[in-house]
Amino acid sequence: MPSISALFDAHLAAIHALRIQEARIEELGGQSGACLHYGNRIFLCGNGGSAADAQHIAAEMVCRFETQRRGLRRSPLTTDTSH
């Protein structure tokens, strides 16, 4: 089992990798915001664990945390996967 220090190092490496993508992440955030501003919908999908993540993100977009606002338009494509 890895040490706590090794786990911290792995997390720091992941954050560093995200910093490299910072401009792209900001661009995608702006595109998502524009999509919602113009009344469009964001579709989320995934496979396996990513499907669960997509459903969780969709729920976060509908629910509110600290700020009162209307739910955002989104559709998780992973709902009722056995249906």
Q: Mind listing the pLDDT tens digit for each residue in 28-69?
A: 999 999 999 999 988 888 888 888 888 888 887 777 666 776
Number of helices (H), then strands (E), belonging to the chain: the values are: 3, 2
CB atoms inside a 10 Å sphere around CB 55 = 18
pLDDT: which is higher, 81 or 36: 36
pLDDT: which is higher, 69 or 2: 2
Q: Mind listing the pLDDT tens digit for each residue in 3-28?
A: 999 999 999 999 999 999 999 999 99
Q: Is the pTM of this model over 0.85?
A: no
- According to the model, what pLDDT value does residue 1 have? 86
Cα 67 to Cα 14: distance, rounded to the nearest angstrom = 29
Please answer whether residues 77 and 43 qualify as being in contact, where contact means their C-beta atoms are separated by less than 8 angstroms: yes
